[in-house]
Amino acid sequence: MDLSSLFSLQDKVAIVTGASRGIGFSIAHFFAAAGAKVVINSRNQDRLDEATHKLREKGYEVFGIANNIGYPDDRQNLINQTIEKYGQIDILVNNAATNPIFGPIEETDLNLFDKVLDVNVKAPYELSKLSLPFLRQSSAASIINISSISGLSPEKGLGLYSISKAALISLTKVFAKEWGTYDIRVNAICPGLIKTKFSEVLWSDETIREKFLADLPLKRIGEEEEIGSMALFLASQASGYTTGAVFTVDGGFNA
């Protein structure tokens, strides 16, 4: 085994959804640095352009596609444009997520329920299926689903989000079992409290933050790069015999 290339993604094409900032951007950065051609997706064109520019300035091969993967036509368009640009798909990272409500589960409107499930569960499900013909042609196919510790143990006030992330973990295991025969690996990452804009409502509130850190073994909030490095492991041949696994990156929260 050539250890010098164990984490290399040279000549691979990766799609990372929700990648204009935060965890998605960090994953795209790690992949590009490892040699991959990376397609990044976001709903916001300006943020996507900024993210693409930052990575290209470092000499990386990055292509931005602005659309909403909550919509079927946009999911198909993301796959179509990737194939038109690069002709292959080797890695799919389902990172994009939404959480438009914080509060008691009984106050969840049915329209919000549909929106959360469309983005957090249906989109990864459909994007994985749309990518299947191309992943089957890859010599090192990997799907990585970004779930959450909320998917392992529901968080108060995040009931609907927790439900969707639990479903994503189950989806990961189903695809891993069924697609192993195609030599496609499917794994999930469950971040804990990571310092991103998405989770700012939690870490910016001193009372919530201190309560969370009190029982946390590592006594600190995680950084985006700590998810990016785990994703690189799961995308590379370093994890070649790993599928259907759920990795917590949570400072020991679930220890």
> Active-site residue numbers?
161
Sheet of 37-42: strand order equals 62-66, 37-42, 13-16, 91-94, 141-146, 184-191, 246-249
Q: Hey, what amino acid is at 204?
A: S
What angle is formed at CA 52 by the lines to CA 73 and CA 90, rounded to 5 degrees? 60
Interatomic CA distance for residues 185 and 105, integer angstroms = 34
Where are the alpha helices (H) located in the chain, listed in sequence order? 22-33, 45-57, 72-86, 110-117, 123-135, 159-179, 200-203, 206-214, 224-235
Tell me the sheet residues that pair with 62. Answer: 38
Give the tokens for residue 187. 């794994």
Return the sign of the alpha-carbon dihedral for residues 212, 147, 250, 54: negative
Interatomic CA distance for residues 112 and 134, integer angstroms = 33
Tell me the longest C-alpha to C-alpha distance in the chain: 55
- Indicate the burial class of 25 (C-beta count within 10 angstroms; 0-12, 13-18, 19 or more): buried
